[in-house]
Amino acid sequence: MELSSTFQSHEWTIKYALQGTPRAGTVVFVHGTPWSSDVFIPIAKALLAKGYGHSQTLSEESQQSGLFAGDTSVKAQGAVLAHLLQHLKLDGQDGRPAPAVIAHDIAGTIALRTHLIHNCEFSSLLMMDTNTVLPWGDGFYKLVRSKPDTFLELPQGIFGAMVRAAIQSACHNPKVLSSGWEDALARSWVADAGEASSKGQNMQRSFVRQIAQANDADVAEMLDADMYSQVRCDVKIVWGEEDKWIPREKMDSLAKMLGDRLKDFVVVPEAGHLVMLDQPERVAVEIFDWLRSEV
CATH classification of the domain holding 56 = 3.40.50.1820
For residue 80, is pLDDT > 90? yes
For residue 59, is pLDDT > 60? no
Quick one: pLDDT at residue 149?
Answer: 95
For residue 60, is pLDDT > 90? no
| pLDDT band with cut points at 50, 70 and 90 for residue 40 | confident
* Segment 173-181 mean pLDDT: 94
For residue 207, is pLDDT > 80? yes
Question: Which residues share a beta bridge with 266?
Answer: 238
For residue 56, is pLDDT > 90? no
CB 212 within 8 A of CB 131: no
Quick one: pLDDT at residue 42?
Answer: 78
Residue 18 in any domain: the answer is yes
Quick one: pLDDT at residue 51?
Answer: 46
**Which of the residue ranges 4-18, 67-81, 252-266, 280-294 has the most confident prediction, judged by mean pLDDT?**
252-266
Residue 161 in any domain: the answer is no
Residue 149 in any domain: the answer is no
For residue 23, is pLDDT > 60? yes
* Segment 173-186 mean pLDDT: 94
Tell me the pLDDT tens digit for each residue of 112-163.
999 999 999 999 999 999 999 998 877 898 899 999 999 999 999 999 999 9
Quick one: pLDDT at residue 48?
Answer: 55
Quick one: pLDDT at residue 66?
Answer: 62
CA pair distance 101, 134, nearest whole angstrom: 22
Amino acid at 104: H
Quick one: pLDDT at residue 10?
Answer: 78
Residue 165 in any domain: the answer is no
Residue 162 in any domain: the answer is no
Pairing of strands 262-268, 234-240: parallel
Residue 168 in any domain: the answer is no
Count structural domains, the chain.
Answer: 1
Domain range spanning residue 266? Answer: 5-136+215-292
The set of residues, in sequence order, having a beta carbon less than 8 Å from that of 243 and lying 6+ positions away, is 129, 271, 272, 273, 275
Percent of the chain with pLDDT over 90: 69
* Segment 230-241 mean pLDDT: 98
Q: 3-state secondary structure string, the chain?
A: CCCCEEEEECCEEEEEECCCCCCCCCEEEECCCCCCHHHHHHHHHHHCCEEECCCCCCCHHHCCCCCCCCCCCHHHHHHHHHHHHHHCCCCCCCCCCCCEEEEEECHHHHHHHHHHCCCCCCCEEEEEEECCCCCCCCHHHHHHHHCHHHHHCCCHHHHHHHHHHHHHHCCCCHHHHHHHHHHHHHCCCCCCCCCCHHHHHHHHHHHHHHHHCCCHHHHHHHHHCCHHHHCCCEEEEEEECCCCCCCHHHHHHHHHHHHHHEEEEEEECCCCCCHHHHCHHHHHHHHHHHHHCCC
Residue 159 in any domain: the answer is no
* Segment 22-29 mean pLDDT: 81
* Segment 186-190 mean pLDDT: 92
Stronger pLDDT, 176 or 11, i.e. the higher one: 176
Quick one: pLDDT at residue 3?
Answer: 76
For residue 52, is pLDDT > 60? no
Residue 66 in any domain: the answer is yes
For residue 65, is pLDDT > 70? no
